[in-house]
Structure 1
Amino acid sequence: MSDSWTPVHLADIFTPGRGISYSANDLKDADGTGSPFITIKNFNKGGGFNHKGLKTYSGPDFPMQRLEPEALLIANTDVTRDAEIIGAPLLVPALDERPLFSMDVNQLTPTGKLGYVDPRYIFFRLCIADARSHMQKVSAGSTVLHLNVKDALKFRFDLPPVSEQAKIAQILDTLDTQIQKTEALIVKLEKIKEGLLHDLLTRGIDQNGQLRPTPEQAPELYKESALGLIPKEWICSEIEDLLDCPSRSGLYKPSTFHGRGAPMIQMGNIFSSEFVSFEKVGRVSVTPSELEIFGLENGDLLFARRSLVLEGAGKASLVKDLPEPSTFESSIVRLRLRRNVISPYFAIAFLQSHFSYSNRRKFIRQVAVSGVSSADIRQFLCLVPPLGEQQKITSCLGTSRSRIASERKTLAKLKKQKAGLMNDLLTGRVRVTPLLKDAV
């Protein structure tokens, strides 16, 4: 590291200022009335501003505590399980009105003792591992973490000259912009896919490869069913009538059998996507006969029998690209379909739709957790177009899915690149001085 970088503590360059106290009646969801109000819900995990958490405030005004754009805040309270918010930084964005901020947040105001400090640089600096570790160490609490702000400001790091601060922040800002644009594109593509799925599941694809006219345009092409109007060529069937073999609940094994052996799909592996995830999968020791009875095949449908949230009960996921012989736990139900009648890919597209949720909702029982039984699952309704039409529908959805997957890979690559650059640039391991010389 160059001698031009100065060792500092946060307390050398910032003084903390806590936000205002408020009552629940002072806050509303951001609806255009009242002043923007920043709380810990506006902090992304690890740092950054989350617009979705923005509230409006209608209590007494505190003009001196209104924030300018790029004001630097840190969270001094955290209710997340893994302490992902405590001490995390946030730069205030430009809003329609200068916001106020809550007592769970501290503003870091520059002291000016060491001259100008770029708040964007400090924001990024407080996001990397050594800063996050320090903030977590100087926090305490069980269900709610509280930051010892005085100790937080003892965080020591090396501060580059202002010109390097600005260049480093510019490079990371550029990457952030690319990441945000990619995230926005993924959201847009997901909405397009959702609209496409709705059209495909209500109108289908005709012999010319086009969406059928709507029921309003051509009512003679449709008929009534338990799920509403559907194309005349389609049927509406209970899943039980589409099964190739009886449904099967998963395998229970005591904890002494866990940690080795075959992959065991658990609830967390089926909630994240329409396809079963084999990432972070647990393992269990099973006998050959258990693996034969409780094993998985590509094309199997796995249903969650219970969930902490209502929407999760009865949720389905499809086994695809099975990496090795695997099994599934007792809270999951396995179904195998007659593939000469229905494609598993079409089935999962339908079962993940709001049409299916509306149908299965009536089966869900709510006690401590939301749940359905194997018998309930077999009574779930499913639309069944002719096989050829199912293939056309899944092909359309596959194209949309592939585009989204490609953008997700791009996003992961950008985030990995940013993480590497942050550690290199913010610690001085890689210098930006050659870029500054080129700019002169």
Structure 2
Amino acid sequence: MSEFPTQRLDEFIADGSVLLGRGDVISKDDIEAHPGPYPIYSSSAHNNGKFGEYGKFMFDEELITWSVDGGGYFFYRAKHKYSVTNVCGYMRLRGEKLHPKFVYYSLANQHRYLTFDYTTKAHPSVIKKQYWLPTIAREQQQKIAAILTGIDTAIEKTEALIAKYQQIKAGLMHDLFTRGVTANGKLRPPREQAPELYQQTLMGWIPKEWAVKDLSYALESVVDGPFGSNLKTEHYVVDPGIRVVRLQNVVEFDYNDNDKAFISDRHANFLLRNKVVGGDVLIAGLGEERYPVGRACCYPDDIDPAINKADCFRARCNPGVMKNRFFMLFLNSGMARRQVRRYEQGVTRPRINTGNLKRLSIGVPDLNEQVQIVAKFDAVQSVIQVEPRFSIRASSRRINGRKFGWQVEYFCGIPQA
């Protein structure tokens, strides 16, 4: 595991340096009966594991907790008043042998290479035999923890900046599709200041020059991917052939090129109806918790033509009526999202079909204004875009990569260049 001398976790338990425990059952009735400000941590890997708040607390000390039922993720808990539920474990360190932050980083690094799920749970009796800790001087542990903490701080600041720009982008999207842009490239005055510039519609207030139409009015075509035997597992190939656009490639505003799949050129010739070229709009017909149904992006111009898979729609606008990129932006707007919810079907994973998609209403400005709207959006989007070398999100990836390099070097004994 490491070039450092190590001991298995259960050896530290045996000598009294580590104590493992489980949290308590905290019911909804308990929380309602004892309201208060103290956080409750549970098994989720999201939101730092926070489940809710409570008027009581179990701990007021520095601990390491982990999710027993939620994949075994570790969390460092600085000293504060809090509780953990019964689907969490907690680790208390005794004496001066181990530095808490160092132990947390060591365990979190090892967790990358282990798998826990709802069948194989991370019970204390399980993890004590699967994790190891380096037996190095506490002073050295503290230095390593300080370096990794500094990197984490840089990541948090970068992610906060990304969140700030995402909020700016959300506000801009609202303004673009409710106020539009004038010929000089500026947003129209708000309706409160110039009510004569606006009209009330079923979608809400929009500029009075805009026509309200169904999406079918603007579309030249919209095509779902091939179903059933038209595209099966055996049609995929390892060596690059023709790209297949799948749901995981479609994120809001951007095409995710990290997940690549190919089919043979020969089979692609049978699916010409599903051909995707640069500038086409890709729409997710199926959603999940973090990725809403109806999200959209444009297929990049610098990628070879592809085929769209089922539940991933390919749309093209009538070029005399609407720009593809304006259409894509609209689908990601709150105005479109509210309409999509009315037509969603499915319980566990919401979906929409192409027929219902075409029933959505859209405000249609003239083509020049569409170009101006797209330009204003792109000016903000470029700041948080994935690709540019000096973008905020690229910086976040570089910092995360640096952190991983430090972890590999210190915990696995592999020097990083």
**Would you say same fold, with TM above 0.5?**
yes
Q: In 1, distance between residues paired with 2:136 and 2:341?
A: 58
Q: Kindly state the Cα deviation for residue 72 of structure 1 after the two structures are TM-superposed.
A: 1.9
Instruction: Indicate the residue corresponding to 2:184 in structure 1.
Output: 208
Q: In 2, distance between residues paired with 1:157 and 1:93?
A: 20
Q: Kindly state the Cα deviation for residue 412 of structure 1 after the two structures are TM-superposed.
A: 0.6
Match of 2:41 among 38, 48, 51: 38
Q: In 2, distance between residues paired with 1:310 and 1:361?
A: 15
- Please tell me the root mean square deviation across aligned C-alpha atoms, in Å: 3.0
Q: Kindly state the Cα deviation for residue 299 of structure 1 after the two structures are TM-superposed.
A: 2.0
Instruction: Indicate the residue corresponding to 1:436 in structure 2.
Output: none
Instruction: Indicate the residue corresponding to 1:104 in structure 2.
Output: 87
SS in 1 for 2:25: coil
Instruction: Indicate the residue corresponding to 1:404 in structure 2.
Output: 384
Instruction: Indicate the residue corresponding to 1:352 in structure 2.
Output: 332
Q: Kindly state the Cα deviation for residue 197 of structure 1 after the two structures are TM-superposed.
A: 1.3
Change (3 A) 1:291 1:355: same
State how many pairs are aligned.
399
Cα offsets for 1:120-158 (capped at 9, x unmatched): 1111111113x554x64xx6xx73432342452243342
Moved more, 195-204 or 362-371: 362-371
SS in 2 for 1:317: strand
Q: TM (normalized to structure 1)?
A: 0.81
Consecutive unaligned residues of structure 1, counting only runs of 5 or more, are 45-49, 80-84, 432-440
Q: Is the 8 A contact 2:281 2:325 kept in 1?
A: no
Moved more, 151-160 or 324-333: 151-160
Match of 1:247 among 212, 222, 241: 222
Instruction: Indicate the residue corresponding to 2:6 in structure 1.
Output: 7
Instruction: Indicate the residue corresponding to 1:19 in structure 2.
Output: 23
Q: Kindly state the Cα deviation for residue 208 of structure 1 after the two structures are TM-superposed.
A: 3.0
Instruction: Indicate the residue corresponding to 2:207 in structure 1.
Output: 231
Change (3 A) 1:9 1:370: closer
Q: How does 1:22-421 map to 2 (within 5 A)?
A: 22-27=26-31, 33=36, 35-41=38-44, 43=45, 50-51=47-48, 53-58=50-55, 65-68=58-61, 70-75=62-67, 77-79=68-70, 85-86=71-72, 88-95=73-80, 98-112=81-95, 115-129=96-110, 132-133=112-113, 136=115, 143-154=118-129, 155-244=131-220, 246-251=221-226, 252-260=230-238, 261-270=241-250, 272-285=251-264, 286-287=266-267, 289-307=269-287, 312-366=292-346, 369-405=349-385, 406-421=391-406
Moved more, 410-419 or 14-23: 14-23
Q: TM (normalized to structure 2)?
A: 0.85
Q: In 2, distance between residues paired with 1:16 and 1:401?
A: 46
Q: Kindly state the Cα deviation for residue 417 of structure 1 after the two structures are TM-superposed.
A: 0.6
Q: Is the 8 A contact 2:236 2:263 kept in 1?
A: yes
Q: In 2, distance between residues paired with 1:276 and 1:146?
A: 35
Q: Is the 8 A contact 1:28 1:56 kept in 2?
A: no
Instruction: Indicate the residue corresponding to 2:388 in structure 1.
Output: none
Cα offsets for 1:356-413 (capped at 9, x unmatched): 1222333333467533332222222222222222222111111111111211111011
Amino acid of the residue matched to residue 84 of structure 2?
F
Identity across matched positions, percent: 25
Amino acid of the residue matched to residue 35 of structure 1?
Y
Amino acid of the residue matched to residue 56 of structure 1?
E
Consecutive unaligned residues of structure 2, counting only runs of 5 or more, are 386-390
Cα offsets for 1:162-192 (capped at 9, x unmatched): 2211111111111000000111111111001
Q: In 2, distance between residues paired with 1:109 and 1:227?
A: 55
Q: In 1, distance between residues paired with 2:66 and 2:285?
A: 41
SS in 2 for 1:247: strand
